Structure formats: C-alpha cells, structure tokens
Amino acid sequence: MTEITAIQKEIIAEFEKRSGISILIGKEHLHAAIIEAQLDLSSMGSARGAYVFKPSALIQEVIHWCPDNMDERREDMAYMTGTLFHEMAHATQIRERLNRRFHPTMRNWMEETTVEMTAKRLSEHFNLLTPKAYERHNDYIGNWGMFLGSFERKACEEHSKAAMEYILQHWLPDFNKAYGNHKKAV
C-alpha cells in the first residue's frame, strides 16, 4: 500500500470529523464500491477515487480513495491529494449542501469538470500544485470539458468556486488556517 503523507492524514482527519463522511483508503474498498455500483471493474481498474451517495442506506456517504492506483505518470503526492480534493468536491453537490444541478445531457461532463477545477483550485490554494499535478488537472479538465460550450464552462467555474468555498469553510477550516493562501503545506 502506498504510504500516505502527514498532510494527507491531516486533511482526512479534519474532513471526516467535520463532514461525517468516511474516507476508506485502499484498492479493496474502491473495487467493492465499483462492483456494488454495477460498473465494469476492468474499465475502472485504474480509478483513484470514488464518491458514493446513497440516501436510503445506513451509511449514506463515503469516499473511496486509492493512492495505490497511481501509475508512474501519476506517482505524485500532489496529484494524489488532488484526487482526494476531487472526491470531496463531489460531496458538495447534494441538496443539503450546494444542490448542484446540471442538465441531464451534460451532467457527467459538467460535474467532472467542476470537481476537477475545484481540486486544482484547492491544490493551488494549499501550494500543492506541482508542474506534473498542474498538467494532470488540466488534462482531466480538458478531457471532460471538451464537450462544453462557453456558457457551460463558465457555470462549471462558478460551481467550482462555490465548492471550494464550501470545503474551506465547512470541512477544512483549520487546515485552511494553517496552510491556506499559498503557505507551504508540504
């Protein structure tokens, strides 16, 4: 198992305490979530994270985070932390939080673009954005955002700003106070 850093442990501890959402770490948890959601495991084998929300379940929300699924290109603490921020951003979408709603035909593209923009913004805010991580965030945003027009992209940017503010104010205020605004977090 990939060793997680002290900074990542600090982020996870504050997030879990304040949000009530558990973060399960490791490939076995991620694969179980993928199977439970009836997704094709072979196409999801390199997934690094997943946010699961089931309003009717006893445990309604969980984030699955798999730093072990970092290949050589992604083997970068900054991008691993960005993936954690990406999954946290997904958790802001529900009605009780930001109630993010997109047109059904654009939903996946806009949600993925929004949460990756949020992950990139948070990484930059905490001075965790290495050149490699910057490139990976931009690639991800470009791949999902290529189908969006300027109106949809602008909406994603606005939703991203709101998600970042929600995370900083509600889930990571202590971490933000210690490391925010470009104070070095590593």
Name residue 112's amino acid. E
Q: How far apart are CA 23 and CA 16, in angstroms?
A: 7
* Residues in the chain with pLDDT values less than 70: 1-2, 27-47, 56-59, 68-75, 182-186
> Does some domain include residue 166?
yes
Q: Which residues pair with 24 in a beta bridge?
A: 64
Domain encompassing residue 50: 6-179
Q: Which residues, in sequence order, are CB contacts of 51 under 8 Å at separation 6+?
A: 61, 62, 63, 64, 87, 90, 91
Q: Give the span between the Cα atoms of 37 and 34, in whole angstroms.
A: 5
Mean pLDDT computed over every residue of the chain: 84
Q: Quick one: pLDDT at residue 25?
A: 85
Dihedral-angle region of residue 26 (phi above 0 means left; psi in -120 to 50 means alpha; beta otherwise): left
The residues facing 186 across adjacent strands are none
Q: What is the pLDDT of residues 135-171, one digit of tens each?
A: 999 999 999 999 899 999 999 999 999 999 999 999 9
Question: How large a percentage of the chain has pLDDT more than 70?
Answer: 78
Residue 163 tokens, joined: 């998600």
- Kindly state whether residue 1 falls inside one of the protein's structural domains: no
Q: Which two tokens stand for residue 178?
A: 């210690």
29 within domain boundaries = yes
Query: Structurally, how many domains does the chain consist of?
Result: 1
Q: Helices 77-91 and 150-166, interaxial angle, to 10°?
A: 90
* Count of other CB atoms within 10 angstroms of residue 143: 13
- Gap between the Cα atoms of 174 and 14, Å rounded: 8
Does 186 fall in a domain?
A: no
pLDDT at res. 73: 42
Give the helix ranges, DSSP H, for 22-149: 27-36, 77-91, 107-125, 131-145
